[in-house]
A and B are shown apart, each in its own frame.
Chain A
C-alpha cells in the first residue's frame, strides 16, 4: 500500500535570508540560522513558542537540530537533520509535509547557516577521504560537475559558450536583486576568459563562496490562511538519491531530477507549461542545463542550445534563477534553502524589479553532493488550489 502526500496540504508562510556575503569575524553558522529563523517568523507573525518542528542541515554543524534547538531553547516535537547536501531543504519540505499532515507537528522551521567565506571552503566542507578518488586530486565538487559538462559537450554538442550563457543570465538577474553579491555586469567573453579551474569550467562557471543562511516556516493550509502573508502552497514534492561519489554516477548527463521532477509534477497535477518560474540549483553552469532537460522543459541534449541567446536571462522566454542564483546572488555552500526562498517570493509577488508577472506556479529544484541527491518542490499561489 502506498500513501501519498496531499497537494496543497501545507504552505510556506514565512521566508527570510540571514545576513549574506561576508559576516563579522567569529560569527557562527548557528548565529545565522537563528537570525534567519527569527526573521522568517516575523515574516508570518509567529513566535518561537509556535515552533514544534525543526529541520536543520549545514556542512559546519554536524547535528544541526540539536544545535539550533539549544541556541533558541526550544523543544521541537519533530526534528530532522537529513543531510544530503544542497538539496536537503527540499527534502525537509517533503518530510515536514508528512509530519504536518499526520499531526505530529504544526509549525515547522527549516533553517541553514554557513560561514564558508569567512573560514574558507576547505574548512567549511572538508572532503571525506576516498581511496578510489582522492589520489587523483579532483577539486571536488567542481571537477565532478566539470566531467558532467565535458560528457554533455561530447555527447550533445554543448559548448563552453552555452555554459557562459548561464553565467551571464544569472548575472543579469543578480543586477536586479539588491541582496546579490555580484554588482558588476558580466559578458560571455569575460566568462570564457576567466581563470580556468577545472576544464571546461572557469571560475565564472562556478558558484560563489559566501557566508549566509536562511529559514522558512511551514504550517497546515488551514493555519496558513490566518497568518500575515499570502500562503505559498506546496503542490508537489519529489526526492531521490543516485550515488555519493562521481565515479559511481551511472550516466553523467542524466541526473535524478528525471525521477524527482515527475514525482513532483504528478503530485502537483500541473505540467511544465503551467510553471511560471524556475529556481534551479546552479552550483555550476552545467546544472541548470541538465535540470531543464531532466525536468522535462527541453528534450535531452538540447539544454545548451536552449539557453543560447538569453532565453533564461531577464526578458527571455523562461524565467530561471531570478535571484541571480548561486552563480551571482549567494552561495553559502548548501544553497538549496535560498533556491526555495526565491521561488516563494516570486509566488508572493515580492520580487520588485525582477518579479515574474502573474507567477502562480514556481518550481524549486535542489541538487546535493556531486549531482547525488535531487529534490523538487512545486509551489503554487491560492489561484492554483
Chain B
C-alpha cells in the first residue's frame, strides 16, 4: 500500500539506489512487473503493489549515440530487464558506438550529481545468463 503522505514512489526507488539496489514493482493482482515506480499499478489500478530488488541483469533493446558539441559521444539506451520491465539508461565502460542491441548488461548505481538524484547505469555483462 502506498501512502503518499509518507513516501513517494520515486523516494523509495532512490532509497534503494542509495543502497546499490535497482528496485522495481510488481502488481500483486496480475503478477506483472512494471517500471517506472508508481503509486497505482498500470492497467489494474491496484494499490496492491510489491517492491522487489532486481538481479540487475538486462539486455539492450535499443541504443543511440548523442553528440553534444565539445563533448565525447554519449550512449543512451533502453534496457529490457530480465524481470520483465524496461528502462532508459546508458552503457558505460565501452565506446558508445560499441553498445549493440542484444548485448547483455549489468546494473550499477551512479551516485548522481547537482542536477540529478542517483540513477542506474549499466556495464557490459559478457554472456551472463
Contact = CB atoms under 8 A, between A and B. Distances in A.
B87 A132 contact: yes
B104 interface: no
Contacts of A195: 67
Interface stretch (A135-143, A183-191, A376-384): A135-143
A134 B116 contact: yes
A138 B62 contact: no
A25 to B, nearest CB: 25
B112 A150 contact: no
Contacts, number: 81
Interface in B71-112: 73-74, 76-78, 86-90, 97, 101-102, 110, 112
B85 to A, nearest CB: 10
B28 interface: no
A131 B64 contact: no
A138 B88 contact: yes
Q: Which of B63, B110, B112, B115 has the most CB of A within 10 A?
A: B63
A137 B101 contact: no
A199 B116 contact: no
Given A131-B10, A136-B76, A246-B78, A198 B88 contact: no
A150 B76 contact: no
Question: What size tier do the contact residues of chain B reach?
Answer: 20 to 34
A148 B64 CA distance: 9
B17 to A, nearest CB: 11
B78 A247 contact: yes
A199 B119 contact: no
Nearest to B113: A135
Interface string B1-28: 0000000001000000000000000000
Given A136-B90, A154-B62, A247-B36, 20 more contacts: A131-B116, A133-B88, A134-B116, A136-B119, A137-B68, A143-B64, A147-B62, A147-B63, A147-B76, A150-B62, A154-B101, A196-B65, A196-B67, A198-B64, A198-B67, A199-B66, A199-B73, A245-B88, A246-B88, A247-B87
20 contacts: A134-B116, A135-B116, A135-B117, A135-B119, A136-B119, A138-B64, A138-B76, A138-B88, A150-B64, A151-B61, A151-B101, A154-B102, A196-B67, A197-B67, A198-B65, A199-B65, A199-B73, A200-B64, A245-B88, A252-B78
Interface of A: 131-139, 143, 146-148, 150-151, 154, 195-200, 245-248, 252
